Chain A
Amino acid sequence: MTMTLTNTGLIDLADTTVREANATLQAATEGAFTLANPGGKHALACGLQHPVSVTIKGHCGYYAGGMNKLAEITIEGNAGTGVAENIMSGTVRVTGDASQSAGATGHGGLVVIEGNASARCGISMKGVDIVVGGNVGHMSAFMAQAGNLVVLGDAGPDLGDSIYEARIFVRGSVARLGTDCVEKEMRPEHLEFLADILTRAGMEADPTEFRRYGSARQLYHFKIDNAGAY
């Protein structure tokens, strides 16, 4: 069931089901919505595919903004596991912290975590840009295929394990690089990219303070001599 309001309005999850709220948001083709009282509910504002703007007033459960296309979603609070998983385009912003697998497998768009992100941030990312204001947990950018992970704080162990062609930028320390992930030279185009994405993410940081990490491309082929690397 879709609520009557179409292109703008307040949806109060205290008296609306997640299904009704999502159906309303998914049907809207434009406009601005506020989701009140999210109460840690799961799968909020997922599967949106039009350029609507959604502000969620509070903490969300799992998969908030999942598979987003075109929409601009802001979570004013913390987000549970898999926020913006498989995002295609648009923006998902979390003003607090994010749990595991933030931006997992995202193909495009921008994910901004103003606080910290937990383990596996950007796991298997496929083109999304992720900017984390704080720290990221272990195994972030695990198997990352494409896109950029920008971390203003520190990164936990095994960063970029088995990474493919994604790029990682970290301003703070890296506890330990994962298998086949190496530090790479910062060239002018990387500084330019950082300046731009930091602006888009609304973060203040000096691009020259970041280090870049990426794939050594030593494990792209199945060779017996690689077996010991795992």
Chain B
Amino acid sequence: MTDQSNPPGGTPRTTPVKSATFDDYTLSEIRRAAATGIYDIRGGGAKRALPHFDDLLFLGASMSRYPLEGYREKCETEVVIGARHAAKPLVLKTPITIAGMSFGSLSAQAKEALGRGANAAGTSTTTGDGGMTPEEREHSNKLVYQLLPSRYGMNPDDLRKADAIEVVVGQGAKPGGGGMLLGQKINERVAAMRTLPEGIDQRSACRHPDWTGPDDLEIKIAELREITGWQVPIYIKVGASRPYYDVALAVKAGADAVVLDGMQGGTAATQNVFIEHVGIPTLAAIRPAVQALKDLGMHRTVQLIVSGGIRNGADVAKALALGADAVSIGTAALVALGDNDPKWEDDYRAMGTTAGAYDDWHEGNDPAGITTQNPALASRLDPVAAGRRLANYLGVMTLELQTIARACGKSHVLNLEPEDLVALTVESAAMAGVPLAGTSWIPGQS
């Protein structure tokens, strides 16, 4: 081995050092911005390392608590969402739901596959910023209909067909931002559904057109209930930023359930700077949200559905233990369908990326046929097979969730509690409000 820093007979040199501040990615982004004059738009959620569920561990049962038999004793997973005001709350067989993703951002095949997978698992799917397609209604036994600022495709007939209504105030990837769908994906059908000229770059509103604050929203929700006869639950979805106040105000506005989406939450298309720098991590948002519900005496009456970076049954179990009633998945569901699958590596390479890193979902060239409106690409996705994969994945997550719940001695997954958890880092201990492992120290509390 030769030491380059000390060449024989020459002056010793230090090895070249790259800056931690100006790392390769940062340098490449400066060059890209300088060359193009436009900010980076992409899909997906925050990619940087953040305090997350991996920083928590379950304690499991031992002397002071006893576990349930892994394969014998029942561990229930059914959850009921929306019984606060709705005559017909949603009854889900598993507390894992499919998050709102529009037809437009996703192909019709992908929407159908989401419906099929969710049906098999006995859970719900959600429309998105673009309205409800007849196909997704047909393929989803339980369909949540989003009311977004843009109101694209919003109409009372679809509203009355919905099993629940979700008023979208914000999204974790972009709290304070509106939707975006670039021209490549605004084909004839998508344009007609949204009443937009074909091929334009759509930038949706970020504020609702007919209400401005929680007092107005309360009246808006009353109107939605009047139109739907007080039958179906009404959710409010917020991006995680000030979860204590947002959840309290959502309860005040009359929500039956609150969807809380952390900054790791995916998006179809948003500025990278927005995704990475606005909002707080999912882990940090749950405890304040639960505290708001508890302070109002509404915990377990108004359900809390948490999303943003949920990947496996352990994540679900941890979210529930921190006080959520259910979770929602976007990115992970797309991966189960086939998003970023290495089998399309040649195609990813041709686009200058690689499987696992592909996030130019807004461009509509998804080789897996999911985030595209290109008929040739979309036809690569078999909705039946992809739906089967999603069903399998939801089943595995549910089994993993039950495994952990039984180990903690719980006969229902909602019996998981913060006392079952410890944290690996001081940060995650503070955010989750659980002790640092091996100590009784909860930073900021004890």
Contacts and interface: CB of A to CB of B under 8 A. Distances in A.
**Do the two chains bind?**
yes
Specify the main secondary structure of chain A where it touches its partner: loop
Interface in A27-48: 42-43, 46-47
B156 A69 contact: yes
A179 B173 CA distance: 27
B205 A143 contact: yes
Contacts of A224: 36-38
Contact of B151 (A86, A142, A220): A86
Interface residues of B, number: 33
Contacts of B216: 62, 81
Interface in A108-124: 120, 123-124
B167 to A, nearest CB: 14
Nearest to A217: B197
B222 A42 contact: yes
B211 interface: yes
A67 interface: yes
A104 B151 CA distance: 10
B151 A126 contact: yes
B209 A46 contact: no
B195 A146 contact: yes
A66 interface: yes
A214 interface: no
Contacts of A127: 195
B209 to A, nearest CB: 4
A88 B156 CA distance: 8
A164 interface: yes
Interface string B187-209: 00000001111001101010001
Interface in B223-279: 223, 226-230
A49 interface: yes
A145 B198 CA distance: 12
Contacts of B220: 62-63, 82
A223 B200 CA distance: 12
Contacts of A46: 223, 226-227
Given A81-B210, A104-B210, A22 B226 contact: yes
Given A42-B219, A69-B156, A105-B151, 6 more contacts: A22-B226, A49-B156, A81-B219, A222-B38, A222-B203, A224-B37
A107 interface: yes
A105 B155 CA distance: 10
A198 interface: no
Interface in A83-98: 85-86, 88
A83 to B, nearest CB: 9
A63 to B, nearest CB: 4
Contacts of B176: none
A49 B226 CA distance: 13
Nearest to B194: A145
22 contacts: A19-B226, A42-B222, A43-B219, A43-B223, A46-B223, A62-B220, A66-B227, A67-B156, A69-B157, A81-B210, A82-B210, A88-B155, A88-B156, A100-B210, A101-B210, A105-B151, A124-B151, A222-B38, A222-B201, A222-B203, A224-B37, A224-B38
B384 interface: no
A229 to B, nearest CB: 13
Name, among A69, A222, A224, the residue most crowded by chain B CB atoms within 10 Å (CB to CB): A222
Contacts of B203: 222
A124 B209 contact: yes
Contact of B210 (A18, A22, A105): A105
A49 B155 CA distance: 11
Interface residues of A, number: 42
Given A61-B219, A67-B155, A67-B159, A43 B226 contact: yes
Contacts of B229: 23, 26
B150 interface: yes
Interface string B159-202: 10000000000000000000000110000000000111100110
B37 A47 contact: no
A83 B200 CA distance: 30
Nearest to B204: A143
Contacts of A66: 223, 227
A164 B209 contact: no
B154 interface: yes
A165 interface: yes
A101 B200 contact: no
Contacts of B156: 47, 49, 67, 69, 86, 88
Nearest first, the 5 closest Cβ-Cβ pairs linking A and B are A47-B227, A82-B210, A224-B37, A43-B223, A67-B156
A105 B227 contact: no
A214 to B, nearest CB: 12
Given A43-B219, A124-B151, A220 B209 contact: no
A81 B211 contact: yes
A49 B219 CA distance: 21
